[in-house]
Amino acid sequence: MTLPVGKRPPGTLASPGISPCTVWKRAIPADRRELSAGETRSSLRCDARPINRILAAGTAAIPGMLLAATRRTKKLNFALWEEKMRKQAGFTLIEIAIVLVIIGLLLGGILKGQEFITGAKVRNLISQVDGVKAAFFGFQDRYRAYPGDYSQATANIPGGVGGNGNGNGRIEATGNPLEFVLVWDHLSHAGFITGTYSASGVSAGSGTAGITNPANPYNVALQLIYDTDFANVTTPVARHNVKTGNQIPVEIIAEVDRKVDDGNANTGGFRGSSYNGVAPANCWNAASGAWLTTNGQADCGGASLL
């Protein structure tokens, strides 16, 4: 039975102007009510049968039926609250796991990228020093003299070199041009290194990166010289060496030493060097020769002994 809206049958609990159907609809939404045999959701949209059951049962049964209705309403409210909480729930463990995996992949990619960059800088520096050493020995084999120290360079090297050395078998910081700057002039004009370098008129200083001397990856001049400016357990003995130039981060120069030598700044064929750089204590331990890779020093250098 469906009651017309606005009618108030005798004994009903509806307020004036509100039908029992409306009371029922407000108490329990249509899609939450239990269906009896033959009922459909649409038939419950305005169904006054629950109210009529209360009226038919008489006054004495009303409290118990209202209590039952109240309990059903509480259950439905709890179900609604539970559903709402499910909709507002946070991330599941699977979702959190997926996010963590993505973050891990991103961090791994960044770290791997930094590792590739560092490796490329190390290989570049090693290749540059090895190229200079190969050029040095190639020049010596061809001219039976050291570049920069060669006393017959202007007569035998084509292309108009900047001058001759004194021929004493040492590439020193002497002469005009300076021999350790003239060395690059001789090597480039003889075709042992790429680029063209000129030492004409350089009688002081240590040369200019990219003009009189090749530059390292940090745009600092390389040096090939006979001196004692490299780390040693005791007082070093002068010998020819190729200096990498400074402004090289300590972790880069330490990795170069590990790859080509023994990883100790005081021993082996590759040493620490303070050439135009900071005090050795900031790049390696003077006593043990251990590279100080954790202090973040960005102005270090090394020397490869010949």
pLDDT at 94: 85
pLDDT at 37: 54
pTM of this prediction?
Answer: 0.63
As to burial, measured by CB atoms within 10 angstroms (0-12 exposed, 13-18 middle, 19+ buried), residue 193 is buried
Coil vs helix vs strand at 173? coil
Report the sign of the C-alpha dihedral through residues 130, 135, 136, 142, in that order: positive
Q: What is the pLDDT of residue 51?
A: 55
Q: Is residue 270 within 8 Å of 259, Cβ to Cβ?
A: no
Residue 209: the pLDDT is: 82
Q: Which of 209, 154, 212, 208 is nearest to 183 (CA)?
A: 212
Calpha distance 278→276 (Å, rounded) = 7
Please give the Cα distance from 39 to 23 (Å, whole number): 19
pLDDT of residue 6: 46
pLDDT at 110: 78
Give pLDDT tens digits along the chain (306 positions).
Answer: 444 444 444 444 444 444 555 544 455 555 555 555 555 555 544 555 555 555 555 555 556 656 666 666 767 777 777 777 666 656 778 888 888 888 888 888 777 777 778 888 899 999 999 999 999 999 999 999 999 999 999 999 988 888 999 999 999 999 888 999 999 999 999 999 998 898 877 767 777 888 889 999 899 999 999 999 999 988 889 999 999 988 899 999 999 999 999 999 999 999 999 876 566 678 999 899 999 999 889 889 999 999
Sheet holding 223-227: strands in order across?
A: 223-227, 239-243, 302-305, 270-272
